[in-house]
A and B are shown apart, each in its own frame.
Chain A
Amino acid sequence: MTRPVKVIGFLDFGGHWDPSLAFVMVGAIAVYSVSYLQIRTRSAPLLADKFFVPLRARIDKNLVFGAAVFGAGWGLGGFCPGPAITSLASGAVPVTIFVAAMAAGMYLHGLAAHPNFWRTLTRSTHAPALRLISDDS
């Protein structure tokens, strides 16, 4: 999946379809689902005090909209975060541009999602220092 042509080939349902990505997903999900069940029977992980498993259950508009936006970026570039970072090791310019833009996108979201951001924008003076706090583990 470090090769966008493979991702785009998988998403090209109406053209030269390459099912390879489906095989990646099947392999990964098969291994992880079995592992997950086994590992979660433990009271704690090996090197930490507890498990940090996502608590959100609601399918909300951020999820739906975010997935749609991410999918568009994925289809356009053919990169998703993991392989993009791995591919940085190649030193290739295209993936460096992509990762820089992805980081910028994450920052932009972090800013816009932060409650102080809008207050700081609308205050003329005495704006509090903007603290960026990540709310995800």
Chain B
Amino acid sequence: MTDFTPLASLTGGVLIGLSAAAMLLFNGKIAGISGILSGALMPVKSETLWRLFFLGGLLVGGLILRFWLPHAFEFGTVRSTEALTVAGLLTGVGTRLANGCTSGHGVCGIARLSARSMVATAIFVATGAVVVYIVNHLLGGAI
């Protein structure tokens, strides 16, 4: 095991859980970020402002990190433009098809005991692991 950061990770997770709880309590929505983003990109009337606020909040959080905890942006990986583009496209298409990502399915869905979310999470962790195996152990780790 390397770089294991249990306390920071647990704290981060608790904050994510609280943020999702706030979303539910105040707005009655599931904090599924892929859905929030795609809905903002392809807007439906009256469904856009809250999305922009949420995404804006993510960015403000990022700005706070930038000045207070900049090592949060030490990505630690080497990925070419091509690899990042493919990764982004796969993420965009995949999250729309699955109607969720790590926040929507992985956190909110599992917490609600949704079978769809449990299956989705198991699958994306599995395919993620396969790709990481290929990249790290067959392709040298930097692509």
Contacts from A to B (Cβ < 8 Å): 1-9, 11-33, 35-36, 39-40, 42, 44-54, 56-59, 62-82, 84-90, 92, 94-95, 97-110, 113, 132-134, 136-137
Contacts from B to A (Cβ < 8 Å): 1-6, 8-14, 16-18, 20-21, 24-30, 33-35, 37-39, 41-44, 47, 55, 58-63, 65-66, 70, 72-77, 79, 81, 83-99, 101-103, 105-112, 114-116, 119-121, 123-133, 135-137
A to B contact number (C-beta, < 8 Å): 410
Query: Do B93 and A69 have beta carbons less than 8 Å apart?
Result: yes
> B90 touches which one: A7, A59, A76 (CB < 8 A)?
A76
Closest to B92 in A: A105
Asked if A81 meets B59 with Cβ closer than 8 Å, knowing A20-B5, A46-B25, A72-B90, the reply is no
Report the 4 A-B pairs with minimum CB-CB distance, sorted nearest first.
Answer: A105-B92, A27-B13, A101-B88, A5-B76
| Cα(A23)–Cα(B8), bound, Å | 9
| Cα(A101)–Cα(B110), bound, Å | 28
Query: Do B42 and A110 have beta carbons less than 8 Å apart?
Result: yes
Query: Do B91 and A105 have beta carbons less than 8 Å apart?
Result: yes
